[in-house]
Amino acid sequence: MKPKNSGFKYTKVMDKVQVKDKTFRIFIESASIQKRVSEISAQIDAEYQGRKPLFIVVLNGAFMFAADLFKNLKIECEVTFVKLSSYSGTKSTEVVKELIGLNENISGRDVIIVEDIIDTGITMENMMEKFKQSNPSSLKICTMLFKPNAFRKNYKIDYIGMEIPNDFIIGYGLDYDGFARNLPDIYTLVQ
Ligand code: IMP
Ligand code: MG
């Protein structure tokens, strides 16, 4: 059966959006994001053949990237979620709060942490230290975005979608004070 046309068409990308007091302009279009996501999925498929990895998705920001990544994956795998918070407005607070913890036993598992963005690297370091204590057989990191000029740590990031400048961005899961996560494209702050 053919689905009914909902009337929704996403043809023209809006080049500017206003979120609360700030203006953002288009930075990365959905098509480029999707292309890169399918490349990462293919890479993970190839590297995790027969290993049944567990993906730990960091809420809220990574939900959209994780959904697209997951739809592309062909290997046998599982997904679970943790919820953290470190940002307030457009600045990292450096204090990472755990709002929803991990229920699964990850001992002996191949684990891949999925993030929307690695900025200073504090959030991810916190998580890795914590998960390592449960003795997974391997622990890798997969992030859609990475800000190399903001990164203050020196651990390896295994899968990176795109490297971006040290600017505040929204869309594709990323928010400004809770808003704009639903935008399919990524926007950058107009100073
Ligand atoms: P980090 O601990 O500084 O690496 O920050 C990581 C978290 O801060 C990410 O998981 C995001 O939720 C959030 N974050 C970092 N940069 C941005 C941004 O440009 N826009 C929106 N959220 C961001
Ligand atoms: Mg995040």
Give residue-wise pLDDT tens across range 95-115: 677 777 888 999 999 999 999
Q: State the distance from the centre of ligand 2 to the C-alpha of 85, rounded, in angstroms.
A: 8
Ligand (nearest to CA of 122) = 1
Query: Rounded to an integer, what distance in angstroms lies between the CA atom of residue 182 and that of residue 142?
Result: 21
Confidence of residue 9 (pLDDT cuts 50, 70, 90): very low
Nearest CA residue ID for atom 20, ligand 1 = 169
Query: Rounded to an integer, what distance in angstroms lies between the CA atom of residue 62 and that of residue 155?
Result: 20
pLDDT over threshold 50, residue 39: yes
Q: How many residues does the chain have?
A: 191
pLDDT of residue 11: 45
Query: Rounded to an integer, what distance in angstroms lies between the CA atom of residue 141 and that of residue 157?
Result: 6
Query: Rounded to an integer, what distance in angstroms lies between the CA atom of residue 32 and that of residue 52?
Result: 28
As a whole number, the mean pLDDT across the chain is 90
pLDDT over threshold 60, residue 130: yes
**Relative to the CA of 115, which ligand 1 atom is closest?**
10
CA angle (90 as vertex; 14, 84 as ends), nearest 5: 105
pLDDT over threshold 70, residue 6: no
**Relative to the CA of 147, which ligand 1 atom is closest?**
16
Q: Which of 110, 116, 119, 185 is catalytic?
A: 119
Ligand (nearest to CA of 59) = 2
Nearest CA residue ID for atom 13, ligand 1 = 87
Pocket lining: 61 vs ligand 1, CB cutoff 6 Å: yes
Query: Rounded to an integer, what distance in angstroms lies between the CA atom of residue 115 and that of residue 112?
Result: 10
pLDDT over threshold 50, residue 10: no
**Relative to the CA of 126, which ligand 1 atom is closest?**
2
Catalytic residue status for 110: no
